[in-house]
Chain A
Amino acid sequence: MRVQVDMTKCQAYGLCAEEAPEVFDLDEWGYPVLADDVVPAGQEPSVRRAVGACPAQAIKTTD
């Protein structure tokens, strides 16, 4: 699974980092930083939760 954040939509709610802290880190302004767009094995469920939790609907995944 791959993940990307549409930065034109992201509003720095930070829920992605709560749902999937192993995948989403937050910068000093609260915007997510992805170490890698490939989701580490086993992290898929938490990334799906992050996609559902994002109020800005800014997170997209592809298989």
Chain B
Amino acid sequence: MNTGTYSTTGELAKHATLILGALIVILPFYVMVSFSLKSPQEIGTHAGGFFGSQQAFLDQYCVKLGNPEADCWRNPAAYNYGNAFKKAPLLRYLLNGVIVTVSIFVIQVLIALPCAYALAKLRFWGRELVFGLVLFCLLIPVHAIALPLYIMLANVGLTNTYAALVIPWTISVFGIFLMRQFFKTVPDDLIDAARMDGMSEFGIVWKVMLPCAIPALMAFAIFSVVAHWNDYFWPRVVLTGSRDLYTPPLGLREFQGGLDGADTGPLMASATVIVIPLLVAFLLAQRKFIEGITLSGMK
């Protein structure tokens, strides 16, 4: 018997599989960052490795506009990132993204926490039925109700507003479900202690349950913010006019129309720019996440 020791080939196979999986996940990201740093020629010929040679290249578009060639030499990275912000109001789009995702998340929390508390900890007639409905709503795909939602918003004249981007997502059944599951694990004694201390039920939700639920809330925040920051479908549906309300993914469209391949670099640069806030937010949340876990000294 050889229990307890690992066979070398088995280990190798496992790691090979994992490495392959990691590559599949990371490669598109790698290509995006790499292209955002390279000149059009390097992108076209797949030359220059990750960073590219970073040698100045001739901007053909600039030449076509009739500028002297000497003024049209560009550093690739600066050109790509510069154009990302120049060709489209990327900062405006980023701001829109922040306004929309933060509004959605805050309102989702305002609604989901009291609902989750009621479903987890209060006894009332029909509670199980309501919870069943919550689970049922989890099964409805967004795209199935997109059209009716659009028509309703159009009828009340809300298309092309922030409201149209935010309102349909304010009630998150997933959030209610997730928080309800977490609240179930909070001891009843803690709630009773708060009641004895004189807290109202809403006081309990915000001053007792919320601080206990920081880890779950962080998990929900990641889901919610990532989903709505990256959402292309819904903004595309309800924003039909002004580009002032475009969210970052819609902003990427500005580059897709370009006929010359020179736009690939700036496109990848803007894609990188809109991903960075998410990465930063995630890293910050991750630290909070761990703090949240160590915070709960309940047994």
Q: Is A bound to B?
A: no
Chain B residues within CB distance 8 Å of chain A: none
